[in-house]
Amino acid sequence: MRLYNNIIGLAARFLCLVLAMASNGVLAQDSVQGKVLQVGVLPTLSARVLLKNYQPLQIYLERELKRPVELTTARDFRTFHFNTIEGKYDVVVTAAHLARLAQTEAKYVPLAGYKASNGAVLIDARDQPLRSVQDLKGKTLAFGDRNALNVIQAVRYLRERGLREDVDYTLLETSSHTSAAYSVQNHQSALAVTSPSGYKNIPDAIKGSVKVFALLPAIPSLTWMAHPRVATEVPRIKAALLGFTSGTEEGRQFYEATGYIGMREVTSDEMKALEPYAQLVKSLLGPGQ
């Protein structure tokens, strides 16, 4: 009888534990509902265009996560990155090399990446085209942000062909991809660096007077990362992102505007392979704010 009572007692305590865990899970779920999820978006485009492009995704996430989602950005890559490291965002959409830094320096967790391939798009003027990269000597290369992965790729590409930045050609940092393209249109620059998405969003009035000089090899696209404080929500957020397809109206609008195609898993090997780029951009970023 004593053994029977002990077994009944243990079973009762186990049931209470299970019920308590389930209750805590419900409470945890309820605690985030209604709380704003801060999503930081890397300023690859002007804030107006960027937030307009991401609005369909914002609406989708609010519906799937059952909580308000607030989109925000920063004035440049450097500010955005240090905001990320300081934990000013719950979730970020950032460049792959900056995502690696966020992972190693602030314990951010990878969520998803875009399916569309990335890679520097070099553009020159239709009425003053370059015959080869050597024609850039003594002239200017324009870009949106020196810390962008495609700009680092382009500078390396030119260096491999004997052209040294600030020696053989001048660097011109502009406020956006559109501004960089405009500098080519008005011949302030001989060449500009943009991305596939950046090129897609250049206004037709400018795009008509420039052309693609070279497409550099594919590199990782933007990556979604979660701050450690939302670790318990990672499965739900990740599932929502991977489920965001062009089959939904919001997905169709978003992918049509950005050209990102869809979402995909990000592997640990992929993140580790970004380490050389991460260390390079770290040296460019300098000390924190």
Give the pLDDT confidence of 97-154 residue by residue, as tens digits.
999 999 999 999 999 999 998 899 999 999 999 999 999 999 999 999 999 999 999 9
What's the rounded Cα separation, in Å, for the pair 116 and 220?
A: 9
Q: CATH 3.40.190.10 in the chain: give the residue spans.
A: 33-117+220-285, 121-215
Other Cβ atoms within 10 Å of 109 Cβ, number? 18
What number is the average pLDDT over the span 31-53?
89
Please name the residue that has the structure tokens 């609010």: 62
Summarised one tens digit per residue, pLDDT across range 60-79 is: 999 999 999 999 999 999 99
Phi and psi torsions of 127, nearest 5°: -90, -10
pLDDT at 232 over 70: yes
Query: 121-215: what CATH class?
Result: alpha beta
Q: Are 257 and 48 within 8 A, CB to CB? A: no
Closest CA to 82 of 48, 40, 144: 40
> What are the φ and ψ backbone dihedral angles of 27, each rounded to 5 degrees?
-65, -40
Element (H, E) at 129: none
Amino acid at position 121, single letter: V
Fill in the amino acid letter for 97: H
Direct distance between the N- and C-terminal alpha carbons of the chain, in angstroms, rounded to an integer = 70
Lowest mean pLDDT among 17-21, 37-41, 163-167, 182-186: 17-21
Say what the pTM is. 0.80
Q: How many helices (H) and strands (E) does the chain have?
A: 12, 11
Q: Is the pLDDT of residue 289 over 80?
A: no
Yes or no: say if 172 and 179 are a contact pair by the CB < 8 Å rule.
no
Question: What is 33-117+220-285's CATH number, 3.40.190.10, 2.60.120.10, 3.40.50.720, 3.50.50.60?
Answer: 3.40.190.10
| pLDDT-derived band at 13, boundaries 50, 70, 90 | low
Q: What is the β-pairing status of strands 140-143 and 191-194? A: parallel
Q: Is the pLDDT of residue 25 over 80?
A: no
Distance CA 50, CA 43 (A): 7
Give CA separation, 96 vs 35, 230, 258, in Å.
Answer: 28, 20, 17
